[in-house]
Amino acid sequence: MKPIEIEDIDKLPGIRIRENDTFCFRCHPEVECFNQCCRNLNLFLYPYDVLRLKQSLGLSSDEFLDRHVDIVMRPANFFPDVLLRMAENTEKTCPFLIESGCSVYPDRPDTCRTFPVEQGMLYDADRKKDTPVHFFRPPDFCQGQYEKKEWTLPAWIRDQEAERHHQLTIRWAGLKRLFQNDPWGFEGPQGPKAKMAFMATYNIDRYRDFVFQSSFLKRYKVKSEILKKLKTDDVQLLKFGFEWVNVFIWGMRSKDIRPR
């Protein structure tokens, strides 16, 4: 999710949707474009997407990243982005696309959930706050935009069960925005600190081993009730990983993670 500058907001493609605006859309297997949107995509995966997909596929986060993603550096950011790797066929279909539709539908990524509504982040520097902004942006071939079913944004987000994804993506966007500044120094973005920050946010099973099987707990004081949750709860571990990156990379204070 790219951060949006306030002066650019009216230049972006698509129709901006505010909370009480309505739009018409319906996707179903009878549309002639069915599944056309699930191919040849630059589909960015956020940390919670990876968590849900690896659970859905019964893989470790390590295996998921190995099999299904490409890691890229984009200009003006010093943290890598994660792209879902498309299948090696002529149409470059999504690897999870099957004839009947999406094979990981209950765990599909954030971007797929509210498609063709896209979410971006507007940063208010005065209030130091990220605000989500939404655009209705169906591709020309998408027939769903000509259907009669009317939605407000909150109703659409609810219908697609996207609340949890959105919450965690907003949290992630706040952390990712910090990486518009280079924290790596001479190590660069391939160095050991960068690898650890990536592990804490994207490779959650490895990060759990790191918390419990390295000298981590000798270096950081963490309450026992929190540690108990981290042993089994991937979402708590992901939130903890975000917090730890704030402490470890950006030197922020945390009430839950105290350097010893």
Contacting positions for ligand SF4 (CB under 6 A): 27, 31, 33-38, 41, 43, 94, 96-97, 102, 104, 108-109, 112, 115, 138, 142-144
Residue type for position 225? E
Residue type for position 224? S
Measured from the CB atom, the residue of 109 and 120 that comes closer to ligand SF4 is: 109
Measured from the CB atom, the residue of 46 and 240 that comes closer to ligand SF4 is: 46
Measured from the CB atom, the residue of 110 and 205 that comes closer to ligand SF4 is: 110
Question: What minimum distance in Å lies between the beta carbon of 162 and ligand SF4?
Answer: 12
Measured from the CB atom, the residue of 57 and 178 that comes closer to ligand SF4 is: 57
Spatial separation of the C-alpha atoms in residues 186 and 121, rounded to whole Å:
30
Spatial separation of the C-alpha atoms in residues 31 and 28, rounded to whole Å:
6
* Contact yes or no for 32/211 (Cβ under 8 A): no
Question: What minimum distance in Å lies between the beta carbon of 145 and ligand SF4?
Answer: 7
Measured from the CB atom, the residue of 10 and 30 that comes closer to ligand SF4 is: 30
Question: What minimum distance in Å lies between the beta carbon of 241 and ligand SF4?
Answer: 23
Spatial separation of the C-alpha atoms in residues 157 and 250, rounded to whole Å:
33
Closest C-alpha to 113, from 150, 55, 162: 162
Spatial separation of the C-alpha atoms in residues 221 and 260, rounded to whole Å:
6
Question: What minimum distance in Å lies between the beta carbon of 139 and ligand SF4?
Answer: 6
Please, which residues bridge with residue 70 across strands? Answer: 83
Question: What minimum distance in Å lies between the beta carbon of 148 and ligand SF4?
Answer: 13
Measured from the CB atom, the residue of 46 and 115 that comes closer to ligand SF4 is: 115
Spatial separation of the C-alpha atoms in residues 111 and 117, rounded to whole Å:
8
Residue 256 DSSP symbol: S
Measured from the CB atom, the residue of 36 and 60 that comes closer to ligand SF4 is: 36
110-138 burial string, b = 16+ CB within 10 Å, else e? bbbbbbbbbbbbebeeeeeebeebbbbbb
Question: What minimum distance in Å lies between the beta carbon of 11 and ligand SF4?
Answer: 25
Interhelix angle 224-232/204-213, rounded to 10 degrees, is 140
* Contact yes or no for 8/127 (Cβ under 8 A): no
Question: What minimum distance in Å lies between the beta carbon of 30 and ligand SF4?
Answer: 10
